[in-house]
Amino acid sequence: MYQSYYVDYYGTAVPAPHAYVPRRLVYGSDLGVGDLKSPQDVVVADDAIYIVDTGNNRIIHTDLSFNVIRVIDSFEKDGQPDKFRNPYSVFVDSQGRLFIADRDNQRIVCLDQDGRFVYEITSPHEGYETVFPAHFRFRPVKVVVDMLNRIFVIVEGLFEGIVELTPEGRFRGFMGAPRVNPSWWDYFWSLIYSAEQRRRTRDFLPTEYSSMDLDSEGFIYTTISGGEIIPEQRIRRLSPVGVDVLKREGHTPPMGEVRIRDYLSEEATSGPSMLVDIVARENGMYSVLCRRRGRVYTYNHSGQLLYVFGGIGQGVGLTQTASAVAAAGNQLLVLDSGLNRITVFDPTEYALLIHAATEAYERGDYDGAAELWEQVLSRNANNEMAYIGIGKNHLQQAITTGTDPKDYLDAMHYFRLGNDRKGYSDAFYRYRRAVVGERFSLIMNTLIAAAILIYLGCRFQVRGRLRSRWHKTRLYAAVSSEPVQNNHIYKFITGTCGSLRYATHVMFHPFDGFWDLKHERRGSAAAATAILGGVVLTYVFMRQYLGYVFNTKQPETLNIFIEMASVAIPFLIWCAVNWSLTTLMDGKGTMRDIYIASAYALTPIIILYVPATIISNWITLDEGSLLYLALAIGAFWAGALLVLGTMVTHEYEMTKTVLIVIAIVIGIAAVIFVSLLFFMVIDLLIQFVSELYSEFAYRLQ
């Protein structure tokens, strides 16, 4: 009833085999206790299942086969009968005691393993009124107890974080308050608002936690359902002191649904995942439940997505209002409070292989993990995790036993198939070091010989002698003869080449260079066009041939015309807006002067970007700062030359030049906005005419 998929490195969902399939639907009538009513939680502990039947104010205790052991709907407190009122969750500690979040009674009830009352925890704010917000109400919805018997509570409507209590129920503080993520637009308005406007504006409050679960190491996995929170922080793993230690080493961070572009594209407009529950599983895995899409997302300890299953609906395997997820071994139980049922999902062979490979890797059996990942690939060739797992095994073998540099090539191959740039960089670093070590003598001898040749060439002026001999040859005589020199094509080529050579002078002597471009005619429109073409080709070259570890864009989506237009069109708009504004501001440059000066200013991009792109294929991620430095220098250099070229061409002072450049940038943004608006209106007009034509055509029939 649902489609399974895997999200690749580029955020595209690709089809995948089913990881889990529904085996059974469990209703209250199947348990013999009457219909469930808005159940909110299901927990598996000590080979038993606890269902929090919120609407019926009871806890249903069953075995793993859903045979009812008992129904806890009341208990005796101080000799008097007591009942729950909208209980929301239950937690079973290491002693078998039940901690029940009795929300509408504003308390946490502790029962022993036989269902007898032990004690209750009421609102912890007494004595700490200044710490809690005004009109605070203790409405617990989730509770866990760690190995030190500390109690952690998620309180509805409380934004300060998770409430931490002592074993006796006394308040200790808040932990793990999530950070808010207001936009730059919100910051802007906050600066110009008056005090009264700020008072009436809503506060930027962090979103409250929606669920939590305790793993075997005592860390608390938590989920945040939505709100003004950094998307990458929707899933957290809190240490005992409240620090988020969740690993986010996957292609996309653990956050539920990511941007879908190709497969299941209709889901892309559904908004971020509304994560309502999380369950910690074996070998560092964890699964989260999304109410908005009814899907379960499972990640490994590194935050890499393993598989996705589920969906919205009323059919078998779908949910209407997903509320909770629990793990019973390899089985997963998904509670639906809308349809009042539990769906039991069984793992397929595909999921079991992934679990087995993860377990083998965790215990250090890399060969066994690689064999299992090979079997995963035989069932799903799109699974990048499998390629990465095999690549890690090859890298480990090469490090341990390999002496041949080619041993690292297999690891690089699989890391590349898995789009693991960090792993590829590590393998390449070791491969490069092995190659250099093996051929160190040859490399050093080559470098020494090259240095000697360069020295001898400078010492004996080889270049000058070769040029003199060239002038004496017949070929030069034929080329320099009067008929050839008077040829228009020859003049154009030689003149353009001379103008191109002058671009290097402009780079290092911008004031003299731009002045001579305008007044001495040292530059030409043809040379400027050649430089602009070189910049366009440089960007296309960099887009396609940047080193693999730095090129995060999908090569299959490269459109050479779009890449060329993305450089040429902004440049032409710059020239047009520059001329339009400077004409009104007493600028001395013509459109030709602006075009030539702006094109010559882009020369550093060609000079620096081309060699940087080539070198990027031979450096690692750790050395990437050198690449980014070269690219930044090229961009800054070209930008500085654009400013200086504008100043010299129009004979402005620096202050006026800066203001003009800012105005040009604003003008470019306005031109792009108006252009997009124009094309949007044209598109709507075409759609209207098309629909109108279709309507007339149908009526005439």
Token pair listed for 622: 């750790």
Average of per-residue pLDDT across 184-192: 59
Average of per-residue pLDDT across 367-386: 93
198-215 pLDDT, tens digit each? 555 545 555 678 999 999
**Residue 268: which pLDDT band, with cuts at 50, 70 and 90?**
very low
List domains and CATH numbers for the chain: 29-272 (2.120.10.30), 362-438 (1.25.40), 441-480 (no CATH), 489-682 (no CATH)
Rg for the chain, CA atoms, rounded: 34
Average of per-residue pLDDT across 175-180: 70
DSSP H helices, 473-590, are 474-479, 482-485, 488-508, 510-519, 525-545, 560-584
Taking CA 154 as the corner, what is the angle to CA 151 and CA 158, rounded to the nearest 5 degrees?
A: 130
- Cβ atoms of 51 and 342 closer than 8 Å: yes
Whether 674 has a pLDDT exceeding 60, the answer reads yes
32-66 pLDDT, tens digit each? 999 999 999 999 998 899 999 999 999 999 999 99
pLDDT attached to residue 254: 92
567-601 pLDDT, tens digit each? 999 999 999 999 999 998 888 989 999 999 999 99
pLDDT attached to residue 260: 56
- 267 compared with 348, residue with greater pLDDT: 348
The residues, ordered by sequence, that sit 6+ positions from 231 with a Cβ below 8 Å of its Cβ are 253, 255, 272
**What's the DSSP call for residue 84?**
-
* Angle between helical axes of 654-700 and 624-650 (0-180°, round to 10): 100
How many whole angstroms separate alpha carbon 631 and alpha carbon 650?
29
What three-state secondary structure class fits 641?
helix
Query: At 117, which amino acid appears?
Result: F
- CA-to-CA separations, 146 to 95, 153, 215, 389, in angstroms, rounded: 11, 11, 9, 33
Does the predicted model carry a pTM greater than 0.75? yes
The residues, ordered by sequence, that sit 6+ positions from 118 with a Cβ below 8 Å of its Cβ are 97, 110, 111, 112
Contacts of residues 621-624 at CB distance under 8 Å and 24 or more positions apart, as own/partner, are 621/421, 621/422, 621/425, 621/549, 621/550, 622/425, 622/429, 624/549, 624/550
How many whole angstroms separate alpha carbon 536 and alpha carbon 599?
11
pLDDT attached to residue 44: 95
pLDDT attached to residue 199: 55
Average of per-residue pLDDT across 361-385: 92
Query: E strand or H helix at 642, and its extent?
Result: helix 624-650
**Residue 127: which pLDDT band, with cuts at 50, 70 and 90?**
confident
**Residue 652: which pLDDT band, with cuts at 50, 70 and 90?**
very high
**Residue 454: which pLDDT band, with cuts at 50, 70 and 90?**
confident
Average of per-residue pLDDT across 290-306: 93
């060329």: which residue's tokens?
564
Q: What are phi and psi of 668, to 5 degrees?
A: -60, -45
Average of per-residue pLDDT across 410-419: 93
307-329 pLDDT, tens digit each? 999 999 999 999 999 999 999 99
Query: E strand or H helix at 209, and its extent?
Result: strand 209-214
Whether 701 has a pLDDT exceeding 50, the answer reads yes
What rounded mean pLDDT belongs to the chain?
87
472-503 pLDDT, tens digit each? 565 555 555 556 555 567 566 777 888 888 99
